Amino acid sequence: MKILVTGGGGFIGSHLAKRLHQDGNFVRVADVKYDGYIKDKYYDEKEIADLRIFRNCMKVTEGIDYVYDLAANMGGIGFITTVGAEVMHDNVLINTHMLEASRINQVKRYFFSSSACVYPTFLQIKENAKGLKEADAYPADPDSFYGWEKLFTEKICESYQRDYKMDIRIARYHNIYGPEGTYQGGKEKSPAALCRKIAQADDPG
């Protein structure tokens, strides 16, 4: 199986690519930069590509069976609640170009990494709020521009699946953290930031 992981230089993408590679698949990773989350080689081909540009999306999807689209301009809650236009601009371009390139290059299956940020704010205000279900995303009221972009892209995926019969899967990630994850700098997730603050406290006990 020939697999493309976009965002393959990021935390989730690099770990996913490593697992797919270990399972015996041909893995191509594509990203605008590589942050060194995994030190050993975890791919067969590595592309440095700005996926906001359509021709780059065409290049990285050529000859590919499965696409895992994890590329995004994003970070922890501090980042996505203060940066709006840049996040929406970059991610809408990446995702629309990747979907169209995958269609043209006849990719067999496409995975889009969405986010729990798509869920309405009004369902999460109370401390005793019920657990969220997929259907709870509507009526829509995401708490950030990042959430709106993810929800919008889910609808683009739905339209491509309906109109072009593409095999598309979507998952809404919650807080993702773990070994080798971003620990500081403004784009770290809340659990990692909390762990850092405890570790750096004068008296962690």
Question: Taking CA 115 as the corner, what is the angle to CA 95 and CA 198, rounded to the nearest 5 degrees?
Answer: 125
Catalytic residue among 37, 146, 160, 183: 146
Determine whether 68 is an active site residue: no
Which residues have a catalytic role annotated? 146
